[in-house]
Amino acid sequence: MSKRKFLTAEWRNLVMINYEVDAEVLKPYLPAATEIDLWQGKALVSMVGFLFNNTRVLGIKWPLHVNFEEVNLRFYVRHFDGSVWKRGAVFISEIVSKSIIAVIANTLYKEHYSAMPTRHSISKQGAHHTSFLYEWKFGDKWNKLGATIRNSLKNIEEGSPEEFIFEHYWGYNSLGAHKTKQYQVEHIRWQVAEVTDYVFEADVAGLYGKDFEPYLTTKPYSVFFANGSPISVRIGDNLQLAPTPLK
């Protein structure tokens, strides 16, 4: 039986800049009962910018907390529940402009939200292209993440790299050495557009730690754009991993 919806919203105009990293860098963030989900043997992280619109928490719209930007850094895991593999994401960092969103998510879901000033822009580039830019202010500097796309959407192909990046319908957060928070994310299968240019300028060491600096300051493995859709996040539950007996 599905759990009650905790959050509903629309996720729109998702820019995903994907980097290959050494899997060892991710292991400190790996929740119990999950393993790193590899794409063709590669461990990937994604810098993500998107719009969070029409947001409701337990069905309620909170004034001034309905529409906002989010920028996050995530990687990919899977969990075997005894019958099927569930593919999910783990968030290393999530940035929004609304402090109450950060407090609620960090308290109830043990997420890793920070509140910073954010802004975005959408601009036409001639007749056939559009640019999407997300910015967040860390210290006295505006960081940037964005992409220019061709104005033509297509379906995600089965077995494609876009499918690997976008088709994760579970979230996992560590609650300690032997416990993990698991929650379900629901949305339709998105459409994608060709990315013709991108930008990522950020204080990687300051925002995400020096371990990520060698990877997030190089050419990305791939850059994708998805149109997004309405989404639902179900109330989560806890996975308990039995401790390993001492020998």
Cβ contacts of 23 within 8 Å, gap of 6 or more: 36, 38, 43
What does the pLDDT look like over 73-108, one tens digit per residue? 999 999 999 999 999 999 999 999 876 666 666 665
pLDDT for residue 247: 38
Count of domains forming the chain: 1
pLDDT at 102: 63
CB 21 within 8 A of CB 45: yes
User: What element of type H or E holds 245?
Assistant: none
In a domain, 246, yes or no: no
Give a yes or no: residue 169 inside a domain: yes
Q: What is the pLDDT of residue 114?
A: 84
Q: Which residues of the chain have pLDDT under 50?
A: 244-247
Q: Which domain holds residue 19?
A: 5-240
Task: Indicate whether 231 belongs to any domain.
Answer: yes
* pLDDT value for 59: 75
221-238 pLDDT, tens per residue?
999 999 999 999 998 898
Scanning the structure block, which residue is given the tokens 């409701």? Answer: 56
Q: Does residue 53 contact residue 231 with C-beta atoms inside 8 Å?
A: no
The pLDDT value recorded for residue 65 is: 76
pLDDT of residue 2: 66
E strand spans, the chain: 5-21, 35-36, 43-57, 68-80, 85-96, 113-115, 118-125, 129-138, 141-155, 170-174, 179-186, 191-201, 222-234, 237-240
Kindly report the CATH number assigned to the domain that includes residue 16.
2.40.400.10
HEC assignment per residue over 18-81: EEEECHHHHHHHCCCCCEECCECCEEEEEEEEEEEEEEEECCECCCCCCCEEEEEEEEEEEEEC
Q: DSSP letter at 212?
A: G
